[in-house]
Structure 1
Amino acid sequence: MPTRDTTRTGEPCWADLMTSDPARAREFYTRLFGWTASDSGEEYGGYVTFRLGDADVAGMMGQDADSDRPDAWTTYLAVTDADATVAAARDAGAQVLAEPMTMGDMGRMATLLDPSGAAVGLWQPIEFTGFGRIEEAGTPVWHELNTTNYAAALRFYESVFGWTPVSLSDTDEFRYSTVGPDGNQVTGIFDASAHLPHEVPSHWQLYLGVTDVKAAARRVDELGGTVLHDPWESEFGTFARVADPTGAVFVLGSVDRPSVDQQNVD
């Protein structure tokens, strides 16, 4: 099974869900992906870790009762020094939504709003390095920035995280770069300026793997979620854009490898 033993600087290393209904979200994701859910206790504010088998694959936190933020997934990028990265990000035009804070003996985190308006997390590992399994059914398979300011986004992530973008396409119809540390492409940046509705800001999008996208999309509907974009085929696989029962959006992406843990999903 694909495992991640090391986390490289600038690489997506974690994703978590901020939800207004943790109980409903727990039921939805555990039944859809075969995850189990483990509560962290009061020390970490009731944070929930989703696992596939014995590997950590995602997290979840309840929204404050008076929050007006929509439920959403957040992608975290690995850094070696959260404070220095926040300072560099601020100099490069980002807003700081949450200053660096230490999370027990797990690591240090911060949250930014990049110059194109997309929220992104930072994670400086101490004992917790992030995803335990990737690139298979029931795990994260891709992370993508959908941005309304493509040029500014490229400049920002190059400057702050040292990424070297590789252009996949550069036309008005489809402008996309893949990026990642050490030439290993693990993230995409998509020029969504002509595609996103006016009310939808730039955002990071999480892709979660399944072996059968059409069946998984039907299951999303059965579990109270919404299929926002019916399954479509591309040269990279089959995908469907969906939302969980409270509106948090993610993408189902096809993978060839079924995980043992997914074979008996309810």
Structure 2
Amino acid sequence: MASRTEGTPVWTDAMFTDVEGAKAFYADVLGWTFGESASEFGNYTQAYKNGKAVAAVVPPMPGQDGEPQSAWCLYFASPDVETTAEKVKAAGGTLLMEPMQVGDFGSMALARDPAGVVFGLWQGGAHEGFELEGEPGSYAWAEVFTRDTGASDAFFGTVFDYGTKKIKDEHMDYRLFDVGAEPVLGRMEMSGEDFPPEIPSYIQIYFAVDNCDKAVEAAERAGGRKVFGPMDSPFGRFAAIVDPQGAAFAVIDSKTTVGDMPEME
């Protein structure tokens, strides 16, 4: 697999107090199977779809204060984590975890943008990232949901040298971040009643599914909660869900599209 261009989404994982519960939930909703936990790496456990790595789950680190909020973290490809980490700091971001080597798998760092959006950096080694994308049960898309669009736009554009395009829509502020000509990330302004003040800026990860409505039903049967949708769009039928441990994500059936693609400016 060719190495991914800097700024391209490359991996996702989430921390769960009840790892076995998380495994059961995502097996029901996304059809994941799970490998053996890696005890030398904090019982990090990879999830697979059709035998290909799509995500990972991990318990809290020993000694961590309080009960952490479960959340999916998106990692962006970096050719050199140390260099990208310096770009994060120079652009006004904060490093939550300094660059570190993870065996022969690669190197990582965790960071936060000036608006509070948490994300990761991944410099692939033996583990290059997603082995499956855009297929049911795997990563499909992600969007930065931010309360400070100016700060997030400037930050991500600077760190990853993104090009940007804005959707022509007077009712919402939505941008696409591009690597070359390829859109790799969306950005949505958090405003209105859909985003109460206690919800921080974050990255919403979309997993592909065969049928959005059935995925929502499976999530609710397994103890999850529907937040939004299912809704039709030109990009697919999608819905936002919170799992039983509070981790937010979305599902999308990209084959079921309604309406014309929006104009860009």
Change (3 A) 1:180 1:39: farther
Q: How far does residue 180 in structure 1 lie from its aligned partner after superposition?
A: 2.6
Change (3 A) 1:111 1:225: same
Find the residue that maps to 2:207 and give its secondary structure. strand
Match of 1:264 in 2: none
Query: Do the aligned partners of 1:176 and 1:190 also contact (CA within 8 Å) in 2?
Result: yes
- From 30, 37, 42, give the equivalent of 2:39: 42
- From 155, 174, 189, give the equivalent of 2:187: 189
What is the root-mean-square deviation in Å for CA atoms of aligned residues?
1.6
How many Å separate the matches in 2 of 1:100 and 1:26? 28
- The alignment-based identity, stated in percent, is 32
How many Å separate the matches in 2 of 1:24 and 1:133? 24
The count of corresponding residues between Structure 1 and Structure 2 is 253
- From 13, 17, 20, give the equivalent of 1:16: 13
In the alignment, residue 20 of structure 1 is paired with which amino acid?
Answer: T
Q: How far does residue 68 in structure 1 lie from its aligned partner after superposition?
A: 3.7
Q: How far does residue 5 in structure 1 lie from its aligned partner after superposition?
A: 4.7
Q: How far does residue 13 in structure 1 lie from its aligned partner after superposition?
A: 0.2
Query: Do the aligned partners of 2:107 and 2:125 also contact (CA within 8 Å) in 1?
Result: yes
How many Å separate the matches in 2 of 1:140 and 1:116? 24
Provide structure 1 residue ranges, at least 5 long, that are not aligned to the other structure. Answer: 258-266
How many Å separate the matches in 1 of 2:234 and 2:240? 17
Query: Do the aligned partners of 2:15 and 2:60 also contact (CA within 8 Å) in 1?
Result: yes
How many Å separate the matches in 1 of 2:97 and 2:76? 14
Q: Which structure is higher in RCO with an 8 Å CA cutoff and minimum separation 6?
A: 1
Q: How far does residue 256 in structure 1 lie from its aligned partner after superposition?
A: 2.9
How many Å separate the matches in 2 of 1:143 and 1:240? 13
Q: How far does residue 82 in structure 1 lie from its aligned partner after superposition?
A: 0.8
In the alignment, residue 185 of structure 1 is paired with which amino acid?
Answer: P
How many Å separate the matches in 1 of 2:136 and 2:254? 6
Cα deviation per residue 1:8-60 (whole Å; 9 max; x = unaligned)? 21100001011111010001111221211012422211101001122110011
Query: Do the aligned partners of 2:165 and 2:177 also contact (CA within 8 Å) in 1?
Result: yes
In the alignment, residue 147 of structure 2 is paired with which amino acid?
Answer: T
How many Å separate the matches in 2 of 1:90 and 1:72? 23
Name the stretch that deviates more: 95-104 or 194-203: 194-203
In the alignment, residue 122 of structure 2 is paired with which amino acid?
Answer: W
How does the TM-score come out when normalised to structure 2? 0.91
Match of 2:145 in 1: 146
Cα deviation per residue 1:129-169 (whole Å; 9 max; x = unaligned)? 10011111111110110011111111111111111111123
Match of 1:88 in 2: 87
Query: Do the aligned partners of 1:149 and 1:193 also contact (CA within 8 Å) in 2?
Result: no
In the alignment, residue 81 of structure 2 is paired with which amino acid?
Answer: A
Q: How far does residue 125 in structure 1 lie from its aligned partner after superposition?
A: 0.9
Find the residue that maps to 2:121 and give its secondary structure. strand
Query: Do the aligned partners of 2:28 and 2:219 also contact (CA within 8 Å) in 1?
Result: no
Q: How far does residue 192 in structure 1 lie from its aligned partner after superposition?
A: 1.4
How many Å separate the matches in 2 of 1:130 and 1:209? 17
Q: How far does residue 255 in structure 1 lie from its aligned partner after superposition?
A: 2.9
Query: Do the aligned partners of 1:10 and 1:180 also contact (CA within 8 Å) in 2?
Result: no
In the alignment, residue 186 of structure 1 is paired with which amino acid?
Answer: V
In the alignment, residue 15 of structure 2 is paired with which amino acid?
Answer: M
Change (3 A) 1:5 1:168: same
> What is the correspondence of 1:29-178 to structure 2 with a 5 Å cutoff?
29-64=26-61, 66-169=65-168, 171=170, 173-178=171-176
